[in-house]
Structure formats: structure tokens, C-alpha cells
Amino acid sequence: LVTRAANPSTALFAKEMERVAAKEALLFAVKDAGGLNASNDAAVLDICEKLLAVERLNPTPRPTTSPLLEGLWNLEWAGARFMASKVLITTFPALLSIEGVTLRVMDGMARATLNLKFLNSIETSFILTTNISAQGPLRLKEQYVDGVIAPPLVKEGSIPTQVQGIYDQFVAAAHRLPESVKDSVSGGLKLPLGLSYERLLLISYLDEEVLVVRDPTGAPEVLSRLEVKS
């Protein structure tokens, strides 16, 4: 009895289909769980299970130096790193909500933008700029350069009546500030970090559409590309 060897192209196609299916299942699980605001234990466990399947099929052997790493990414889901914000959001849903987190990677630098909404009416963002450098084929070092708190945007008539008085006092005090101070903070409050903070990251998956990184504790972050590379 003669057994024919499997066609290499057929095997590669099957593996690629497995990878695509695993990636789509992961993104669906993240969306179904509520994305960044996911808190249900069963849903989070489902994400972690599908994440392991995706990481096993990573198609990029050296992601830290791959051109695929550059571009604009959207944070879809994060593990323990967002635990404090999850607790706050779950406890006080009307107080604070995370509207989205984006990450732009370009020329050895990363810029993360966290968009927040307070009291369903006051919008602001925190922008963190870091230097990133490859420490190996999978390992990255991230050094914090500075952070910027953007000036808050308030929709007219949207302030809750319970805090309207406090808000009016704040606005009046801001108007009394010297012009030089107003000019210096009009573009946001800058917090220089001077490369004094850093962390290591492991890229466990990277392709044209999805990026998965883990911190030293193993906590994952799942990102999807906002700009498709041509």
C-alpha cells in the first residue's frame, strides 16, 4: 500500500485558514464580552482561551523588527492593566467611561491616547508618548517620555444639576488666571517623565490586522489595526 505525501500547498492553506478562523473567533469573543469594559468572568475566560489559540499560530517570527508593527492600532481588550479602571467603571458607571484607546507606532516611538468621559458630559484624553526598542525577536522595552492631559471639552447644557455649581466655580476661577498661565495650559497639561519609567513587553502575535502583547505578569492586550497596510 503506497501512501501519498500531503501536498505542501494544501497543508499551508489549511494552516492559514485555521489562523484566520482563530483570529476572527478571538475578535468576536472580545466584542461579545464588551471590549475594554468586559467584566464577566466566563466571557473573559473565553477570550483567554481563544487568545492562546491565536498566539500558537503567530505568522511573524520577529515581530519587534517587523514593519507590520508600525501604524495606528485600537485597543480592543486588556487584562490586569485595566483592572482599576474596570472596578471604577463597574462601581460608578455614570461617573467615568473609557471611550477608546488608540496606539500609534512609528519610527521607534509609540503614542497612546486614552479617551475618557466624566459624568456623561465632560470629555478629555490622556496622551502618553514612549520610546520603544527591540530587546530580542519578541521582546520590546518601552520608556515613558511624557504624558499630556488634554483640556476638557464640555457639551453645552450637559452638566448634571448636582455638580453644576462646582463646575461654574471652576470655570470662574479659570477665567481669573493670568493670560500666561492660560496660554501654557491651553494645549493641555504636560507631564515630563524623563525616561524614568519603563516596562518590558512581549509581542506574542502580529499580522496585518491584529497585535497581541503581554506584560511581565503575562497580562495580555489585544489590538486591531485602524489603518490597513497596503
**115-128, pLDDT tens digit by residue?**
888 767 778 888 99
Q: What is the pLDDT of residue 161?
A: 63
More confident residue, 156 or 201: 201
Q: How far is CA 138 from the centre of its chain?
A: 19
**27-69, pLDDT tens digit by residue?**
999 999 888 877 788 998 999 999 999 999 999 999 999 999 9
Sign of CA dihedral 19, 25, 29, 35: positive
Q: What is the pLDDT of residue 228?
A: 60
**166-207, pLDDT tens digit by residue?**
555 555 555 555 555 445 445 667 778 877 789 999 999 999
Closest Cα partner for 117 from 181, 160, 174?
160
Task: Indicate if the pLDDT at residue 4 is higher than 90.
Answer: no
Query: Please, is 187 exposed, middle or buried when counting C-beta atoms within 10 Å of its C-beta (0-12, 13-18, 19+)?
Result: exposed
Question: What's the CA gap between 32 and 34, in Å, rounded?
Answer: 6
Say how many CA atoms lie within 13 Å of 117 toward its Cβ. 13
Q: What is the pLDDT of residue 84?
A: 46
